[in-house]
């Protein structure tokens, strides 16, 4: 509950003063000992607390999810395992699992902010796990999302057949491995912000995404910014903030 909800419930006699004081004094954090949930992040930054599951145990993820659910928070967990999903769905039957994106999400209320949309464009099918992470995250943040997949520079005509959808987006996320050229191609043809996401897809000299990262950072196209390798989540957060300006 936010402060307005708390005060309204107190005004209507639904919450005693002691519980109101407890809510207000503990506002902003939920300390689980091994994790400190930032319950006020959404109000402060526009991006809610999100669970990065990699490196956490299934029990830790389950406990964080349960506390967030009890607090009435929307829930997004990234880089989850199937074992984590099996545990979480027992707590929240309405949660959604995307095995390709490796995400678990749950919304208290579905909302879409306006008609402007974010386009998520991937160079190849192998880039889909990162592209799907970006798409799931952007939708979770209440954005309309259009996905355009497998339109890389090896067959550039595929890109142009979807061009109207791409150029009419408010923000464009371009996900590409190998040499990462797609971000420059798109950036040189549109008047919208382009967020490049290099992926670790590629053969040896790709260096687990380093070649794509350096290509995007060295793009001669104006208006191209770049996030870290495989960071679909970070790209979606930045795109969401731009889309809601």
> What are the pLDDT digits (tens) for 111-140?
777 789 999 999 999 999 999 999 999 999
Cβ-based neighbour number of residue 158 at 10 Å:
14
pLDDT at 24: 62
pLDDT at 140: 95
Residue 120 to residue 135: CA distance in whole angstroms = 7
| Domains detected in the chain | 32-106 (no CATH), 117-243 (3.40.50.1970)
> Burial level of 4, CB count in 10 A (0-12/13-18/19+)?
exposed
pLDDT at 42: 77
With contact defined as beta carbons under 8 Å apart, do 102 and 80 qualify? yes
> Burial level of 139, CB count in 10 A (0-12/13-18/19+)?
buried
Structure-model confidence comparison of residues 245 and 38, the more confident one: 245
With contact defined as beta carbons under 8 Å apart, do 37 and 44 qualify? no
Residue 106 to residue 115: CA distance in whole angstroms = 22
> Over the stretch 54-70, which tens digit does the pLDDT of each residue have?
999 999 999 899 888 88
pTM for the whole thing?
Answer: 0.84
148 pairs with which residues across the strands?
Answer: 121
């Amino acid at each position: 509950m936010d402060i307005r909800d708390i005060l309204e419930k107190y005004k209507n006699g639904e919450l005693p003063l002691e519980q109101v004081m407890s809510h207000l004094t503990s506002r902003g954090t939920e300390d689980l000992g091994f994790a400190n949930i930032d319950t006020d992040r959404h109000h402060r930054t526009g991006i809610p607390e999100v669970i990065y599951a990699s490196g956490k145990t299934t029990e830790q993820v389950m406990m964080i999810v349960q506390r967030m659910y009890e607090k009435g928070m929307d829930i997004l967990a990234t880089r989850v395992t199937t074992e984590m999903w099996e545990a979480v769905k027992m707590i929240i039957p309405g949660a959604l699992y995307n095995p390709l994106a490796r995400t678990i999400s749950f919304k208290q209320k579905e909302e879409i902010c306006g008609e402007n949309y974010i386009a998520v464009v991937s160079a190849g099918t192998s880039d889909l796990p990162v592209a799907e992470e970006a798409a799931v995250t952007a939708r979770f943040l209440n954005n309309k999302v259009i996905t355009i997949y497998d339109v890389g520079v090896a067959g550039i005509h595929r890109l142009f057949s979807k061009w109207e959808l791409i150029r009419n987006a408010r923000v464009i996320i371009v996900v590409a491995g190998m040499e990462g050229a797609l971000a420059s191609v798109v950036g040189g043809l549109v008047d919208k912000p382009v967020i490049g996401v290099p992926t670790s897809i590629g053969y040896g000299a790709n260096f687990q995404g380093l070649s794509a990262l350096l290509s995007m950072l060295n793009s001669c196209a104006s208006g191209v910014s770049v996030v870290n390798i495989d960071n679909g989540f970070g790209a979606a957060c930045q795109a969401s903030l731009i889309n809601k300006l």
